[in-house]
């Protein structure tokens, strides 16, 4: 291995090929335990996360259930609102507005995607910034762009937590983010490049020429394209850190954007899929919920 992304710091589990395994389940459990301790130490104030699920999307249902389970472990209360796919724009907006007005609810997560025909932006716009624990409203995104405090989108924040926990240096390093969505890619670029983190970031997308060559120039690659096996060993500079955000449902099951087997033999650090960024998204949602409760004076 050439210069290692993790600078040899820490006593971490490694893959068969010698890369540090950036274990999201382990880090999520550490974060959830810390949140529970904080709430316990504050005298167990009520901290409440509300989830809103519209329609019958099965992966969304599983995801929401996992969030509720982890919220309970973190000593948080969950409130769940479920609406049928035909609830209509007014029905969904009324349910979200009610939670927004409820002082007993500190964080609100509207599970996306909403069923066809519903305007997600109009629904998200009803969230007060302090309750927007997913960090996806224009106000929260604007705060992130302007370097102001506020809730940060959970998936890219989870990537930052993984890099930090596993000792991946960012300052002065080159990073490539594959994907430019407002959910993952764009906020990821902002987080990696902001002052104090100080990576030099390139944003790649479906029109990027020579993606493999571009990625090979990077110390950190974050893949958030949703293209199964897009990133192979050919895309990875020896020793680089590779983070897989993508989720694709294939005949062979759920796979990521990263071809784990080939990449782990070259990379200095790599996330597993599953067990990498997915659990971290939930951990960061709960972190944001505690921050939301603080902003609202609950502790």
Restricting to residues 208-247, name those near ligand NAP by CB under 6 A.
Answer: 208, 211, 224-227, 230, 245-247
Is 46 a residue that touches ligand NAP (CB under 6 A)? no
Q: Please, what is the minimum distance in Å from the beta carbon of residue 280 to ligand NAP?
A: 7
Minimum distance of ligand NAP from residue 69's CB (angstroms) = 16
Regarding 24 and contact with ligand NAP (CB under 6 A), the answer is no
Task: Out of 4, 70, 75, 111, pick the active-site residue.
Answer: 111
Can you tell me the distance from the alpha carbon of 63 to that of 61, in angstroms, rounded to the nearest whole number? 5
**Residues of this chain, 56-115, that bind ligand NAP according to CB under 6 A:** none
Asked if 285 touches ligand NAP (CB under 6 A), the answer is: no
Kindly state the tokens that stand for 28: 């999520």
Annotated catalytic, 67?
yes
Q: What is the 3-state secondary structure (H, E, C) of 249-268?
A: EECCEEECCECHHHHHCCCC
Q: How far is the CB of 296 from ligand NAP (least distance, A)?
A: 26
* Contact between residue 29 and residue 175 where contact means Cβ atoms under 8 Å apart: no
Contacts of 206 (CB under 8 A, 6+ apart): 225
Count residues near ligand NAP (CB under 6 A): 26
Minimum distance, C-beta of residue 143 to ligand NAP, in the bound complex (Å)? 20
Q: What is the 3-state secondary structure (H, E, C) of 5-44?
A: CCCCCCCCCECCCCCEECCHHHHHHHHHHHHHHHHHHCCC
Find the binder of ligand NAP among 107, 179, 187, 272 (CB under 6 A).
Answer: 179
Instruction: Return the closest-CA partner of residue 109 out of 281, 298, 256.
Output: 281
Contact 267, 5 (CB under 8 A): yes
Question: Binding ligand NAP by CB under 6 A: which of 125, 181, 202, 296?
Answer: 181
Q: Coil, strand, or helix at residue 220?
A: strand
Q: Which of 4, 23, 132, 134 is catalytic?
A: 134
Which residues are tagged catalytic? 67, 111, 134
Residues that bind ligand NAP (CB under 6 A): 155, 178-181, 183-185, 204-208, 211, 224-227, 230, 245-248, 277-278, 281
């Amino acid at each position: 291995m050439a210069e290692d992304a993790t600078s040899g710091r820490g006593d971490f589990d490694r893959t068969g090929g010698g890369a540090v395994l950036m274990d999201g389940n382990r880090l999520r459990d550490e974060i959830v335990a810390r949140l529970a301790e904080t709430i316990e130490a504050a005298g167990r104030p009520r901290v409440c996360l509300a989830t809103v699920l519209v329609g019958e999307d099965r992966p969304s249902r599983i995801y929401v259930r996992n969030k509720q389970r982890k919220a309970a472990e973190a000593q948080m209360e969950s409130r769940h609102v479920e609406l049928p796919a035909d609830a209509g724009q007014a029905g969904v907006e009324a349910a979200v507005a009610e939670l927004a007005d409820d002082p007993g609810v500190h964080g609100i997560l509207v599970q996306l995607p909403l069923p066809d025909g519903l305007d997600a932006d109009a629904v998200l716009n009803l969230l007060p910034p302090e309750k927007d624990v997913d960090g996806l409203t224009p106000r929260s995104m604007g705060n992130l762009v302007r370097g102001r405090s506020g809730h940060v989108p959970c998936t890219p924040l989870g990537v930052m937590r993984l890099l930090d926990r596993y000792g991946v240096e960012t300052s002065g390093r080159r990073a490539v983010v594959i994907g430019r969505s407002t959910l993952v890619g764009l906020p990821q670029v902002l987080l990696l490049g902001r002052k104090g983190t100080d990576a030099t970031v390139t944003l790649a997308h479906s029109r990027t020429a020579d993606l493999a060559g571009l990625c090979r120039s990077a110390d950190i690659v974050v893949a958030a394209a949703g293209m199964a096996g897009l990133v192979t060993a050919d895309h990875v500079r020896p020793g680089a850190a590779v983070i897989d955000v993508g989720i694709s449902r294939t005949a062979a099951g759920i796979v990521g954007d990263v071809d784990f087997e080939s990449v782990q033999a070259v990379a200095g650090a790599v996330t597993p899929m599953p067990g990498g960024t997915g659990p971290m998204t939930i951990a960061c949602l709960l972190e944001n919920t505690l921050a939301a409760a603080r902003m609202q004076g609950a502790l």
